[in-house]
Amino acid sequence: MEEFKKKLRIGVIGGARPDNTSYDLALKIGRLIAEKGAVLVCGGLSGIMEASAKGAKQAGGTTVGILPSSSRHDANPHIDIAIATGLGYARNSLVALNADVLIAVDGQYGTLTEIAYGIIYGKKVVGLGTWEIDGIIAAGSPEEAVNLALRS
């Protein structure tokens, strides 16, 4: 664990019910994050959160899940370090705070709060097939998304 705190934390944010294409993109992103030696931070639940954590674990990485509920046992099975908040959607602020850089994939309005919090907190936000708004750096592939994130 000594090295954990020196690692870059990359947050992956996105919807709980993505289509298969977005799920696969997030899986790939998670794998690349782990291969590059970064830590994956996410919301700990299903969909994009699960896919990215699954990918990171497939590549031997470490995963953090910041949960809206009061029990760390609500995390998906690919989360190593589950953090319970009991805050409901207000926990979205904590997802953004605990990443050094964010990658948004797909996503609805919860993702939009996390994108906006990320920008408020001065984090770089990379987007892949997600909201197109000022302040997001668009990527065309998982590789490009992770490379852009690593340049933070």
Residues that bind its own copies (CB under 8 A): 1-2, 4-5, 62-64, 66, 70-72, 79-90, 92-94, 97-98, 109-110, 112-113, 115-117, 119-121, 131, 133, 135
Rounded to whole angstroms, how far apart are CA atoms 108 and 17? 9
Q: Which residues contact 55 (CB under 8 A, 6 or more apart)?
A: 26, 27, 28, 29, 30, 31, 32, 33, 34
Pick from 72, 106, 69, 64: which is nearest to 89 by CA? Answer: 69
Rounded to whole angstroms, how far apart are CA atoms 89 and 110? 8
- Least spacing, CB of residue 34 vs its own copies, in Å: 11
- Least spacing, CB of residue 56 vs its own copies, in Å: 10
- Least spacing, CB of residue 16 vs its own copies, in Å: 12
Residue with smaller CB distance to its own copies, 133 or 143: 133
Residue with smaller CB distance to its own copies, 81 or 150: 81
Residue with smaller CB distance to its own copies, 67 or 128: 67
- Least spacing, CB of residue 52 vs its own copies, in Å: 16
Tell me which residue has tokens 């947050």: 11
Residue with smaller CB distance to its own copies, 134 or 140: 134
- Least spacing, CB of residue 125 vs its own copies, in Å: 10
List the 136-138 sheet strands across, edge first: 81-84, 63-67, 39-42, 9-14, 101-105, 124-128, 136-138
Residue with smaller CB distance to its own copies, 141 or 152: 152
